[in-house]
Amino acid sequence: MASKTSQKEKSMLLALLLFVGAAGLIFAYLGSEESGKSSKPSPTVKSEKFEKAVNKHLMLTNERMELERQRMQLENARLLNSDFNQTEPQRAYANDGRLDLSGDNRAAELANELGRGDRREESMSPHDIVQRELFNAQQMSEYSQAYKEEYARQFIENARRGGYKVILSEDLSRVISVTPIRQNEMNLFGSGTGSVQ
């Protein structure tokens, strides 16, 4: 039993030593923090420096904006006092004599032949304008009719190749009838494999 009590006393002594050591470390840490705080600037000093820097930046920005506003007012006043009718156009390119910018007559002649030269607007009377519009409308009508006829011809040809006989209305806008072509009729048109003599 003596060994059990001595072991118990040793473990109690060890726990007491650990507790005293931990308490000593905590006091040492808190003591170093208080001495460290005295060397560092306080938060109020930091915030004052920050406020001074922000205020300085705001003042400089405000001064720049005020100077820019005054510059624009002066420029506007100068523009209002100037006469806009006295302005002269500036040349986009000034040749200092090193380049030959003379016109090439062959290029101008070729452009005129192709219809891309200088456009000469002719003054047209109202009668000429109406006649030109009527002519354009007639040309468009003829083109549209030719297009419809060719489309209908191709449609009928494709249907015949597919084995159908198609009849369209006079104005080529509707299909009137569709009938299948029998095999022997197709041979007459030469689409079959046999030869006709």
Q: Where are the domains of the chain?
A: 43-79, 129-197
* Residue-averaged pLDDT of the chain: 80
CA 194 – CA 197 distance, rounded (Å): 10
Query: What pLDDT digit, counting tens, does each position of 106-159 carry?
Result: 777 887 777 776 666 667 888 999 999 999 999 999 999 999 999 999 999 999
* Higher per-residue pLDDT: 126 or 103: 126
pLDDT attached to residue 195: 44
Interatomic CA distance for residues 86 and 89, integer angstroms: 10
* Buried-exposed string 2-36: b where 16+ CB fall within 10 A, e elsewhere: eeeeeeeeeeeeeeeeeeeeeeeeeeeeeeeeeee
Helix (H, G, I), strand (E, B) or coil at 24: helix
